[in-house]
Amino acid sequence: MRLVVVFLFLATVSATCHANCFIEQVVHQIHPLRPRSGAGGYRLENINCQSWRLAVETKNIINWKLVPEACEGYIGHYMLGKQYRKDCETVANVAIEYAKSLTLAGDGKDIWVFDIDETTLSNMPYYARSDVQFGALPYNDTKFNEWVAEGTAPPVPASLRLYQTLLPLGFKIVFLTGTAERFRAIRTSNLKAAGYHTWEKLILKGEADKGTTALVYKSKKRTELVNSGYRVLGNMGDQWSDILGDNAGDRTFKVPDPMYYIG
């Protein structure tokens, strides 16, 4: 029996509650990570979890189903600790520097595309649950959709800061998500509650695109945008399938996500 208890040190939780509150909440919900055998697919001995995470972020490891059993604790620490937040801040800083360097046409056609889950909204309150374990236990579509339907996902703070910087620079914002169209109302209220108060388009996955991969679906939607005159100057996502494919954008930005893979 192997029990790894996630301890969390959140000295960084600042006085401004803002998006940090949810972390304080989940800290008190962390359960001992349950030992598992089989099922995971990863039977790597002596796996180095930091190397695994790097290989995931660089798209060297693809099509993975679960966080390796041996890395449950490591990924939990990463996601709830300082490093994930610092990594997101670094991506946002680079994106802001790039955005500020551009001269926009001023015709309202310069857009910044954002993915939603784990890019602008965080599902950490869900992924920290004992029956989800930061992606180490099998994905349950029903359960995840119940969480989405709550509409209480907090923002990824760094991405919200980028968003707040882009608007006054004149960028139009497009949210492009694989979430199903039937969640439009709750996603809209969730985005607004999280601080994303305005946007040009919110594109959700309709019936016609059901069954298509994220890469194909997002490429198609971006191409539709470009065909109607928009210019994708920036594009940010937590999955490579958000930022590869057709009309990916003049520059793309990858935020970390070692919890799941969407191809």
Ligand X SMILES: *[C@@H]1O[C@H](CO)[C@@H](O)[C@H](O)[C@H]1NC(C)=O
Structure tokens at 71: 């890395």
CA distances from 116 to 33, 61, 121, 153, 196 (A): 27, 23, 6, 10, 11
User: Considering the rule CB under 6 A, would residue 130 count as an interface residue with ligand X?
Assistant: no
Task: Map the footprint of ligand X across residues 175-194, applying CB under 6 A.
Answer: none
Binding marks (x or -) toward Mg ion, 194..233, rule CB under 5 A? ----------------------------------------
CB 174 within 8 A of CB 214: no
User: Considering the rule CB under 6 A, would residue 29 count as an interface residue with ligand X?
Assistant: no
CA distances from 78 to 92, 124, 128, 193, 205 (A): 18, 12, 12, 26, 30
User: Considering the rule CB under 5 A, would residue 72 count as an interface residue with Mg ion?
Assistant: no
User: Considering the rule CB under 6 A, would residue 140 count as an interface residue with ligand X?
Assistant: yes
User: Considering the rule CB under 6 A, would residue 143 count as an interface residue with ligand X?
Assistant: yes
Piece in contact with Mg ion (CB under 5 A), picked from 53-61, 69-77, 149-157, 237-245: 237-245
User: Considering the rule CB under 6 A, would residue 65 count as an interface residue with ligand X?
Assistant: no
Q: Which residues contact 31 (CB under 8 A, 6 or more apart)?
A: 130
Nearer to ligand X, 129 or 201 (CB): 129
Task: Map the footprint of Mg ion across residues 107-126, applying CB under 5 A.
Answer: 115, 117-119
- Reference 250, options 100, 93, 102; nearest CA is 102
Backbone φ/ψ region at 78: left (φ over 0), alpha (ψ -120 to 50), beta: alpha
Q: Which residues bind ligand X (CB under 6 A)?
A: 140, 142-143
Q: Which residues bind Mg ion (CB under 5 A)?
A: 115, 117-119, 238
